Amino acid sequence: MTQVVSILSRKGGVGKTVTAMYAAALLHQQGEDVAVLDTDPEGSAGAWARAAGNLPFQVYPESKQAQAMKHGWVVIDTPPNDPRVLGDAARKASRVVVVAKCNALEADRLIPTLDALAASGFGGQWGILLTQARGGLGREMQAALEEEDLPVLGIVPHLVKFERAFGMVPDDLNEYQEALGGLLK
């Protein structure tokens, strides 16, 4: 049975595509047969794959969902601001990563994503991945979320390598391994 990991956020620019590509690279590194399903109309994951040219995993557009689901693992990259697609991706998933950028505005935008996840009926493993963390803000947000009994998978710091990652084969996976390693087993 295909294991599906959906990468969700109602907010754009939080790092969903980077997270999807790094999650797929982690799964590939673990020896898994993995693909990315790009459900974002902007097609960022597909554009990344075309620019890289040699990814060790396939990236499929939404129209090729049936082909993607033939792999052992599928990572779904979702668009922002589309609760229907977010709900569909959650219902397909065995695991969900809710991505939130580390700042006060993004923390506020986390609520609609969590509401959509709850409305989807998803009952599997999930957690919040805090991205683009600077200084101590990631730890502060993690503590605040955990105080509300919300599961935090980990913190990915703001690093130039992630800004330059588009079109590259993800290879330095340490930050994502630390944050997502437990969920992707």
152-184 confidence digits (pLDDT tens): 999 998 887 788 889 888 888 999 999 999 999
32-46, 81-95, 106-120, 135-149, range with greatest mean pLDDT: 32-46
Query: How much of the chain, in percent, has pLDDT values that exceed 70?
Result: 99
Residue 143 counted as domain residue: yes
Task: Specify the pLDDT at position 106.
Answer: 73
Residue 140 counted as domain residue: yes
Task: Specify the pLDDT at position 171.
Answer: 85
Max distance between CA atoms of the chain, in angstroms, equals 43
Taking alpha carbons only, the member of 179, 124, 140, 135 closest to residue 156 is: 179
Residue with the larger pLDDT of the pair 151 and 108: 151
Query: How much of the chain, in percent, has pLDDT values that exceed 90?
Result: 75
Task: Specify the pLDDT at position 52.
Answer: 96
Task: Specify the pLDDT at position 14.
Answer: 92
Taking alpha carbons only, the member of 153, 154, 157, 160 closest to residue 135 is: 157
Pairing of strands 152-157, 58-61: unpaired
DSSP code at position 55:
-
Are 12 and 100 contacting, i.e. CB atoms less than 8 angstroms apart? Answer: no
Q: What is the pLDDT of residues 68-121, one digit of tens each?
A: 999 999 999 999 988 888 999 999 999 999 999 998 777 777 888 999 999 999
**Structural domains of the chain, count:** 1
The residues, ordered by sequence, that sit 6+ positions from 92 with a Cβ below 8 Å of its Cβ are 4, 6, 76
The whole-angstrom separation of Cα 100 and Cα 47 is 23
The whole-angstrom separation of Cα 26 and Cα 40 is 21
Q: Give residue for tokens 């689901």.
A: 69
Residue 185 counted as domain residue: no
Taking alpha carbons only, the member of 69, 60, 184 closest to residue 127 is: 184
- Domain CATH code at residue 99: 3.40.50.300
Task: Specify the pLDDT at position 169.
Answer: 85
- Mean pLDDT rounded to a whole number for the chain: 93
The whole-angstrom separation of Cα 59 and Cα 36 is 5
Residue 153 counted as domain residue: yes
Task: Specify the pLDDT at position 4.
Answer: 98
> Which structural domain, as residue segments, surrounds residue 163?
3-180
